[in-house]
Amino acid sequence: MTTRTDAPTRREQILKEAARLFAERGFHGVGVDEIGAAVGISGPGLYRHFAGKDAMLAELLVGISGRLLDGGRRRVAEADGVPEQVLSSLIDGHIDFALDDRPLITLHDRELDRLRDSDRKLVRQLQRQYVELWVDVVRTLHPDATEGQVRAAVHAVFGLLNSTPHLGSYGNGLPGRAAMEVLLRKLAHGAFASLSA
């Protein structure tokens, strides 16, 4: 969702590898030594950046929820209030997340309950605000749909887009990233269009 071109910081490298390893083997199946080895530092060296694995998990899950919300707000602002453009931009942003951050989706599905209560509540709060961005624009585009129908459609589209980790890797009969992006965009727009069918 970001357009940064500078090199990732050591902290960002650690988080990326931690997300990948946690998604592959589960939070308890990965040690700090393995995360350190993946980024070329000793396991104990990680403690210069994070208090421990719990802190990494919290930063990953709170961080992605915050980035989705911030990106969604930016996309709404940049679309100048044109509902069709707002929805298209939100869909495109979420597709980028779903295709480029698949380990974080897996991590959220499996490990959210491992967060401290305060972090888990913050994740849920950020997610609710993100959902409201979508609900507002979809209600504008489909005024005859009930609020319940709109909310159900938004969550169904999230489920559709967030299913990407279950597809396996590209190749193996699956379309490549660019083709998958096009397919997901069509499916998401089609799901919302069904509200007016």
The tens place of each residue's pLDDT in the chain, 197 residues long, gives 444 456 778 899 999 999 999 999 999 999 999 999 999 998 788 888 999 899 999 999 999 999 999 999 999 999 988 999 999 999 999 999 999 999 999 999 999 999 999 999 999 999 999 999 999 999 999 999 999 999 999 999 999 999 988 877 666 677 888 999 999 999 999 999 999 97
Q: What integer pLDDT is reported at residue 170 of this predicted model?
A: 60
pTM assigned to the model: 0.89
Q: What integer pLDDT is reported at residue 79 of this predicted model?
A: 92
- Taking CA atoms, 32 is separated from 28, 89, 96, 153, in Å, by 10, 38, 29, 40
**Radius of gyration of the chain, Cα coordinates, nearest whole angstrom:** 18
**H-state helical runs in the chain:** 10-25, 32-39, 53-78, 83-100, 102-111, 117-141, 147-161, 177-193
Angle, CA 141 vertex, CA 139 and CA 146 arms, to 5°: 35
- Give the other-Cβ count within 10 Å of 87's Cβ: 22
